[in-house]
Amino acid sequence: MRYVAPAGLARLAISLDARNYLPLASEGTYSDKNLAMTKAITAWNAYNENVVQETNELGDNVRKTAHISFPSDMPVLFFSREDDRVREDGKSLFTFLQTQLTDHPASTIIPLQGHHYFHWTQSKEMNEAVLKFMKDIEDRE
C-alpha cells in the first residue's frame, strides 16, 4: 500500500469516484477550489508511509492501551456513530465507550447518525453538544 500514493493510484481512484473521498455536505458548502485541495490532500495522505504504518500497528496499539483509562474526575465526551450491532459476546461500540466514561457527572456519550466523519455532516449538532458539555462542567464547579 505504501506505493499507492506516490504511484498516483490514489489520485486515479479519487478522480474516478470522488464522492467517496470528499466531504458529505450540501451543494455549495465547499468551493471548487476547496474540493480540489481536499482531493489532492486525500490522494497524498490516504496511503502515505505514516498512515500505512499506523494501520499496520493498530491492533498492537489497541492491546498496549487497553488497560489505560481517563482519570476518574476528568469529564469525558464521546461522539459515536449510532450502531446497534452487538457482537457474539454481547458487547457493542456503545458498551465499550461506557467502560471508558469517568465518574465525572458531565461525562457522556452522544450517538449521531452518519459515518466516521461527523464533522462533515453533524458539525452544528456537535458544536451545540460541546457547548452544553462545557457549560455542564462549568455549572458543576
* Alpha helices per DSSP H over 3-122: 4-7, 9-16, 32-45, 49-65, 93-100, 118-121
Residue 74 CB partners (closer than 8 Å, separation 6+): 102, 104
The cell numbers describing 29, all together, are 458548502
pLDDT at 14: 73
pTM of the model: 0.67
Torsion of CA 61, 62, 66, 71, to 10 degrees: 70
Task: State pLDDT tens for residues 73-99.
Answer: 999 999 988 877 888 888 888 888 888
Mean pLDDT of all residues in 45-61: 83
Question: Which residue from 130, 126, 133, 78 is spatially nearest to 100, judged by alpha carbons?
Answer: 78
Task: State pLDDT tens for residues 106-116.
Answer: 999 998 887 77
Residue 118 CB partners (closer than 8 Å, separation 6+): 79, 81, 112, 126
Task: State pLDDT tens for residues 9-52.
Answer: 666 777 777 777 677 777 777 888 988 888 778 777 777 778 78
Q: Is the pLDDT of residue 127 over 80?
A: yes
pLDDT at 134: 95
- The residue written with cell numbers 451545540 in the block is 128
Q: Is the pLDDT of residue 128 over 90?
A: yes
Terminal C-alpha separation, the chain: 49
Q: Contact 93/123 with Cβ under 8 angstroms?
A: no
